[in-house]
Amino acid sequence: MKIEFETFVLPNGLTVILHVDRGSPLVAVNLWYHVGSKDEAPGRTGFAHLFEHLMFMGSKHAPYPSFDAIMESWGGHNNGTTSNDRTNYYEIGPRNLLETFLWLEADRLATLAEVITEEELEKQRKVVLNERRQSYENRPYGRTELRIPEIMYPEAHPYHWPTIGSQADLEAASVDDVRSFFERFYRPSNASLCIAGDFDTAEARRLVDKYFGWQAAREAPRPPAPAPAVLDADRAETVGDRVQLTRLRLAWHSPALFAPGDADLDIAAHTLGGGKSSRLYKSLVFEKRIAQDVFAYQSSQRLGSLFHVGATAKPERDPAEVARAVDDELARLAGEGPTAAEVDRARNTHLADFYKSLDHLQTRADLLNHYQYLIGDPDGVDRDVARYEAATPASVRDAFAAVLAKHRLALTTVPDANAPAPEAQGEEAS
């Protein structure tokens, strides 16, 4: 499958990608800033994500709450997401909104810090603290998720803290922090803009130039380049949480996104824990009936990935028995490798899911920006797919055996109706 696009760079460094699809009278705008929680200053964890919220709190010519109000009054809608690596913002709506979307995005890139106030920061701080509670603290196994990066990455590594940040750091964030973060990272040269949908490319070029072209060229900030993280010993920890069942989680360091072995590990993960045909499902859930669920995934990121495996013990079974059964399957895959049929199934499933996601306009726009950020070229579909086409039982076995040979983290979440708040736990452990 080919995604047709054209691309150009404004003199100020903004990369622009245009993808026309006239199937529906819709247009999507998708803007990536190459800043994420990896770029946060010490004592300000969670700031990149908090900042993303502030991007909706009004700019000089579209004061709060115009951003959402203007957009929604014409039928558009929007959101943003923040990861370790990047922040994206997107809008979608009827095609007559293209110019409005571009004006709103351009105005906040140009002027956000001029108008941000203490009151607006305070409101979004509360919203984000609620998000932290809803997504982690009040969700089964959520607090375990927060512990994983803290253990896997040393304090100096930019993946050491979770993207949502700590409550104390979120509470410490100031308007001055907002201004300096904005000045440093929100620059045309640190972004790429994709427009997808029902529009005319000549008109889109004119509009992009009109709204972004006048903005000053400033050098892109240098991304952090930490030494690769390693665990120098196996680590084990137990976390109490408001859950019914004990869950075991294992994590290893693994090759970065697009690095050799990354796609092989997606296939290894699928072979281990991807659905009802997977080895862990077959052994632990289907045959031995000792686990309620199993999972495995390669969580791919720019500066290094983590390979995760997990199983939730049936209430009447001994978690140690579950742990042994998991280890048996891990050792077997690292020793024998997957069968050719297993590699085929994993590849077919992965590629079918990939194509399914591309049926949606906004996903295509996001993917073009993803490739632009990752390999400096939106034209990444063929290269990406080729990684999976090239995988063999031997390459998957070798990539997986290399991961398994490293030290690992074993986190056990146990039922504890009176578990302390995650914040206190984090401090205890550090």
Active site residues: 52
Cβ proximity to other proteins: between 117 and 348 the closer is 348
Q: Is 50 in the site for other proteins (CB under 8 A)?
A: no
Residue 59, classified by CB atoms within 10 Å of its CB into exposed (0-12), middle (13-18) or buried (19+), is buried
Q: Would strands 409-415 and 87-94 be described as parallel, antiparallel, or unpaired?
A: unpaired
Minimum distance between the CB of residue 418 and other proteins, rounded to whole angstroms? 7
Interacting residue with other proteins among 117, 180, 201, 348 (CB under 8 A): 348
Interacting residue with other proteins among 168, 236, 320, 341 (CB under 8 A): 341
Cβ proximity to other proteins: between 362 and 372 the closer is 362
Q: Is 392 in the site for other proteins (CB under 8 A)?
A: no
- Find the binding residues for other proteins in span 310-329 (CB under 8 A): 314-315
Interacting residue with other proteins among 7, 20, 61, 301 (CB under 8 A): 61
Q: What is the total count of residues that contact other proteins (CB under 8 A)?
A: 91
The Cα 97–Cα 389 span in angstroms is: 40
Concatenated DSSP letters of 63-116 = BTTHHHHHHHHTT-EEEEEE-SS-EEEEEEEEGGGHHHHHHHHHHHHHHHHHH-
Helix, strand, coil fractions of the chain, as percent rounded to 5: 45, 20, 35
Of 107-115, 365-373, 391-399, 405-413, which part binds other proteins (CB under 8 A)? 107-115
Please state, as a whole number, how many other Cβ atoms lie within 10 Å of the Cβ of residue 103: 17
Cβ proximity to other proteins: between 332 and 360 the closer is 360
The Cα 165–Cα 139 span in angstroms is: 16
Interacting residue with other proteins among 134, 174, 201, 238 (CB under 8 A): 134
Q: Is 356 in the site for other proteins (CB under 8 A)?
A: yes
- Find the binding residues for other proteins in span 148-177 (CB under 8 A): none
Cβ proximity to other proteins: between 99 and 398 the closer is 99
Q: Is 138 in the site for other proteins (CB under 8 A)?
A: yes
Nearest residue to 330 (alpha-carbon basis) of 296, 288, 285 = 296
Could you tell me if 308 and 250 are in contact, meaning their C-beta atoms sit under 8 angstroms apart? Answer: yes
Contact code string over 363-382 relative to other proteins, x by CB under 8 A:
--------------------
